[in-house]
Amino acid sequence: MYKAKVFVTLKPSILDPQGNAVKKGLLSLGFNNVEDVRVGKYLEVTLEAADKEQAFKDIDEMCKKLLANPVIEDYSFELE
Amino acid sequence: MYKAKVFVTLKPSILDPQGNAVKKGLLSLGFNNVEDVRVGKYLEVTLEAADKEQAFKDIDEMCKKLLANPVIEDYSFELE
Amino acid sequence: MRFAVIVFPGSNCDADCYHVVKEVIGQEVDYVWHREQKFSQKYDCVILPGGFSYGDYLRTGAIARFSPIMEEVINYAHQGGLVLGICNGFQILTEAGLLPGSLVRNKELKFVCKDVYLKVENNRTPFTIDYAPGQVIKVPVAHGEGAYVCDPDTLERLKENNQIVFRYSTAGGEASPECNFNGSVDNIAGIINEKGNVLGMMPHPERCAEAVLGNDQGKYVFTSIVKWLKGGQVRGK
Amino acid sequence: MENNRTEKPWIELGLTDSEYERIKEILGREPNQVELGMFSVMWSEHCSYKNSRPVLKTFPTEGPQVLQGPGENAGVVDIGDGLAIAFKVESHNHPSAIEPYQGAATGVGGIVRDVFTMGARPIALLNSLRFGSLSSPRSRYLFSGVVSGIAGYGNCIGIPTVGGEVYFHPSYEGNPIVNAMCVGLLEHKDLAKGVASGVGNPVMVVGAKTGRDGICGASFASEELNDASEEKRPAVQVGDPFMEKLLMEACLELIKTGYVVGMQDMGAAGITSSSCEMATKGNTGIEIDVALVPRREEGMTPYEIMLSESQERMLVVPVKGKEAEVERIFSKWGLDAVVVGHVTADGMLRVKEGDKVVAEVPAKALTEMCPVYHREAKMPEKLPEIQNCDLKSLSEPSNYQKVFLDLLSRPNIASKEWVYEQYDHMVGVNTVVRPGADAAVLRIKGTNKGIALTIDCNSRYVYLDPYTGGKVAVSEAARNLVCTGAKPLGLTNCINFGNPEKPEIFWQFKEAVRGMSDACRALNTPVTGGNVSFYNETKGEAVFPTPTVGMVGLIEDLSKVCTLGFKNQDDYILLLGENSDELGGSEFLAMYHGLEAGMPPKLDLEKEKALQNCTLELIGRGLINSAHDISEGGLSVALAECCLAGRLGAQIKLESPIRPSALLFGETQSRIIISISREMLEQVREVAQKYGVPISKLGVVQGKSLVINGNDFTINLSLSEIEARYKGAIPCLMKG
Ligand SMILES: Nc1ncnc2c1ncn2[C@@H]1O[C@H](COP(=O)(O)OP(=O)(O)O)[C@@H](O)[C@H]1O
Ligand SMILES: [Mg+2]
């Protein structure tokens, strides 16, 4: 059994209103040292696979097909 | 300048409708080896801080106060 | 004419589209369940309705795009069949690659339901020939993730090919930043594919197609389709 | 909860010693742990109404239009043509205080299930919300969380949220009020009930899997909020509107097959409440094997399964032999439908885990044998002093125009557009009159008819005089419907009060119900259902007593529907009803003088009834062009609302011996502003005379400003200035 931690982030060129809102929220709470906030998605996918290589390939394909939209998002992942 | 990667996840006992839907989606795409999917948030927070320890303390407080909802969510983070 | 309204789990404007096609413009219409592999009828137009297919979990339209029926819809579109995606339907069309770009969260991060003005930028499409060139219409929007985004090249192409069909505008027809309530690139509210047979729009023409609801300006999207299919002429030429 | 941590585990579960004795008496033995848990939730106030039942019995509940009165998941009223409306309101105050988004969202989910359980397709949602002052960050957090939770759930399931109300008052700071109302449309023949009959029929669990959500939720909703509430945090459930949408479609499809004997949503207390309630109504018993219940988590005990409040589940009793049909429909929608037991003849709710019996109690012991408390009622000692506060000698403002503008931007009065723009209020293509009017109007497809919907309560009036406040809540709701041309059919209510064990609170409750009942009788609006939420207190302080009233009315001819906006230049503006010198309980008094005192506006039910009948006739005969009820903020604010809604100004002349503050801002009841074409004046007067309703001329529709002239005051403002204040107030505060 493998567990992948997948990170999906908005491409730098895409505005991130949610990140801005969180930043504002932090500033108004007094965290004046915050420079920037970006908000993305974090997915934990548990899967069965013959070996790590296969798991890696599968996860990569899942990201490409469904988990991230290449028009607006980038992805990366770690496999355990 | 420090950069924190913050992971916010639903507590294990809390229903994760998103995760269920994504899991079903992956299964229907033919990824029959998927066992479980949980969906959470991933935030990148860039902040100014005197030292790493201070940055750590700040991020932890941000999580407690705003970034995670302690009623239903857990958080963890990595600092760079 | 025969219309199909695709029903995804979580579609919720399917009945509204069905109602308008059947009761308002008097055409035949079938619901088509997302698990179907093939159309059992020959359709003149396929509508992907609004709603929250698969709860809009993960990304709007992302999971619905892989419903079995979508392969058929994609083929149908490639063969030149008319496809109208409204709101969630638009989102599904971009996820399926039938339309360029994507729809992301409204700039204020809130769901917005209200009337907006749209300028008909291109009335020479199968979906707009019943509108006058540059006509301004009032149509409701209801979405949380309707900000249209695309890369600069795509935008150029959209402009060059006259693919921008509707823009958010003032009552006077000016596509000003103030009326761009959701933060769409270039005030884009609806686009068509290059071939001109697949339209996606965030506003809901089916919600303003009857006088009893106080506004019937959206009806003409549907009458345009019928007229175009009958070989009708573009208005105001 | 697993191991008895104290000597008296029932105390921890919210049962008293005498209640525990009663349980032992009923069973003839000590209850085991599962049974004790079941009793504790079913005998909580939330499920048993043990404190409120004797008082609620005094509501009038009958009328020729009532197809289903209180006692089912929702009330049902007839609208002719073989069609009927199911509707109900429910509170989700305590969950919303802890997690506003999910608390409010699951509140919507619950009330929607109550309505489609009746066989009705939900066609509209409304909500009634109350928070502390918007100057407090916590109130803003709760307000925005609750609104987006309602939006998130309602929008996703595709039911339009067409109306509601929002108030802000410090008494709600720690304990917000979140009431959600759902309205559904059904054919008489599809009316379904929550009953388990037919011995041997299967009992099925359908919908979502069961997890450890909200265990103890129901008893939690019956306790005051205090710091220890933090401890109970797992009691928060997460809603899955997508699942609910599928469940709704599957259940409605199932009901159409005619195979459903009974169906009940799993609300508070989950499988326990649904099974014992269905058995009680069917005069039967139910046997369930918890091992068969589809679960989301591993290692769940029978206790947890029986008490879980996981959302989006239902208990269905189909006709024996049709199990496969039920499974087929649910699997089409991607849902579980599993036989977990069957209906028995012995009246017992028997819970097994495999072969082992883990609980066995008479179903009726849980539902009907809970002790009923006749609580002591006592008027609060300080109330007479507050009521008798001398309002006659208050100083008059020096600048009425400024007061007027300030009132328009009071959150309690200002436009609630910020709220309802976040709700999809149009999906379904039935919304003829949208939020922002006196009542929402929906057409009924395939007929000429419409229904009007509203939810109302001024809790400050109820606080100052519960009897009058109760009367006003019902009357104002009816008046709001009447202003659209709808005849009120019936009401549902949600009683949100403090701790009923306190005599002062119980007195408020009794008095408010008495006032509501009197108004219901006078206006022919029977109560078809409702909900009681007690223990709305923080640190011993109760919220303002808040009996919200949700009402449904019928418009026979939709082409006659009336709205509040002025329609034509030069129309006459008239007042039906009479101004009087009343300031008690008004928003003006609270804002300008900082007083919440005096007696609330009087209400004469005979006059109210005449006014409503008169207005209905005027609208029915097409004699008037607009109608608007005068409520918070008084005559001047109501005029401004008519102007803004119609985008037309008005020239008003007020000649009256009444002091200007009361004339402009007093909240005297039984008044409606109408506008008419000039040539209708005589006919309109005649109708008013026939009903004995005072009628007077206020002015004319004119220009793009609102001008109000009186003996020693003038208000003269452009509509854009008025609109900026009225619409800008809440967005501005929420940015803060
Ligand atoms: N929470 C809410 N949700 C939806 N609509 C709301 C909400 N609060 C207020 N509204 C709408 O705003 C309008 C004004 O509400 P209110 O001030 O209570 O009016 P009234 O005094 O006539 O009852 C109504 O149309 C109401 O439906
Ligand atoms: Mg009101």
Whether the CB of B28 is below 8 Å from some CB of chain C: the reply is yes
Tell me how far the alpha carbon of residue B10 lies from the centroid of ligand 2, in angstroms. 38
**What ipTM is given for this predicted complex?**
0.92
Q: What is the rounded CA–CA span in Å between residue C131 and residue C125?
A: 10
Task: For residue A33, tell me if it sits in a domain.
Answer: no
Provide the CATH number for the domain around residue C91: 3.40.50.880
What is the rounded average pLDDT of the residues D88-104?
95
**Amino acid of residue D138:** R
Question: Looking at the domain assignment, is residue C237 inside a domain?
Answer: no
Mutate to test the pocket of ligand 1, among D131, D183, D420 (most ligand atoms within 8 A of CB): D420
Percent of chain D with pLDDT over 70: 96
Position D225 scores a pLDDT of 57
Task: Please check whether residue B40 touches A, CB under 8 A.
Answer: yes
- In tens digits, chain C (237 residues) has pLDDT values of 999 999 999 999 999 999 999 999 999 999 999 999 999 999 999 999 999 999 999 999 999 999 999 999 999 999 999 999 999 999 999 999 999 999 999 999 999 999 999 999 999 999 999 999 999 999 999 999 999 999 999 999 999 999 999 999 999 999 999 999 999 999 999 999 999 999 999 999 999 999 999 999 999 999 999 999 998 766 544
Alpha-carbon distance D460 to C134, whole Å?
52
Q: Which of helix, strand or coil describes residue C226?
A: helix
pLDDT at D459 over 60: yes
* Nearest-by-CA chain B residue for C35: B28
* Number of independent structural domains in chain C: 1
Is D267 or C173 the better-scoring residue by pLDDT? C173
Q: What is the pLDDT of residue C236?
A: 46
Structural domain of residue B46, as residue ranges? Answer: 1-11+39-80
In A1-80, the DSSP E strands lie at 2-10, 34-47, 73-79
pLDDT band (50, 70, 90) for residue D193: confident
DSSP-assigned letters across all residues of chain C: -EEEEEE-TTB-SHHHHHHIIIIIS--EEEEEETT-SS-SS--SEEEE--B-GGGG-SSTTTTGGGSHHHHHHHHHHHTT-EEEEETHHHHHHHHTTSSSSEEE--TTSS-EEEEEEEEES---STTTTTSPTT-EEEEEEEESS-EEE--HHHHHHHHHTT-EEEEEE-TTS---GGG-TT--GGGEEEEE-TTS-EEEESS-GGGG-BGGGTB-TTHHHHHHHHHHHTTPPPTT-
Query: What is the sign, positive or negative, of the torsion defined by CA atoms of D678, D680, D686, D692?
Result: negative
Domains in chain B, number? 1
Low-confidence ranges of chain A (pLDDT < 70): none
User: Do D83 and D131 touch, CB atoms closer than 8 A?
Assistant: no
Per the CB < 8 A criterion, the answer to whether D127 and D134 are in contact is no
D351-366 tens-digit pLDDT: 999 999 999 999 999 9
Pick from A18, A66, A72: CB nearest C109: A18
Q: Hey, whose CA ends up nearest to atom 27 of ligand 1?
A: D163
Q: Is residue A6 part of a domain?
A: yes
pLDDT on residue D233:
40
In a domain? residue A48: yes
What per-residue confidence (pLDDT) applies to D221?
55
C59 to chain B, closest Cα gap in Å: 10
Query: Is the model's pLDDT at D391 over the cut of 60?
Result: yes
Compute the distance from residue D439 Cα to the ligand 1 centre, in Å. 8
C-alpha span between D232 and D220 (Å, rounded): 8
Q: What is the pTM of this model?
A: 0.94
Which of these ranges, C228-237, D146-155, D156-165, D632-641, has the smallest mean pLDDT? C228-237
Domain that holds residue C34: 2-229
Q: CB–CB of C67/C34 below 8 Å?
A: yes
**Mutation target vs A (from C66, C102, C184; most A CBs, 10 A cutoff):** C102
Mean pLDDT of chain D: 94
* Ramachandran assignment for D354, one of left (phi > 0), alpha (psi -120 to 50 degrees), beta (any other): left
Span from the CA of D435 to the centroid of ligand 1 (angstroms): 6
Three-state SS at D668: coil
> What's the whole-number mean pLDDT along residues D361-378?
94
Q: Measured between CB atoms, does D448 come within 8 Å of chain C?
A: no
- pLDDT at site D219: 52
CATH code, domain with A2 = 3.30.1280.10
For tokens 């990304």, name the residue: C59
Mean pLDDT of B64-68: 93
* Contact yes or no for B69 and D233 at CB 8 A: no
Q: Is residue C89 part of a domain?
A: yes
Residues of chain C positioned with their CB less than 8 A from the CB of B17: 55, 57
Within 10 angstroms of residue D575's Cβ, the number of other Cβ atoms is 22
Tokens standing for residue D8: 């008296």
Tell me the HSE value of A71 on the side-chain side, using a 13 A CA sphere.
21
Closest atom of ligand 1 to D128 CA is: 1
The pLDDT of residue D118: 94
- Residue B38 reports pLDDT greater than 80: yes
Is residue C236 domain-resident? no
Atom of ligand 1 nearest to the CA of D480: 22
Q: Which of B13, B71, B72 sits opposite D212 (nearest CB)?
A: B13
Task: Please give the distance, rounded to the nearest whole angstrom, from the Cα atom of residue D456 to the centre of ligand 2.
Answer: 5
A56–B contact, CB cutoff 8 A:
no
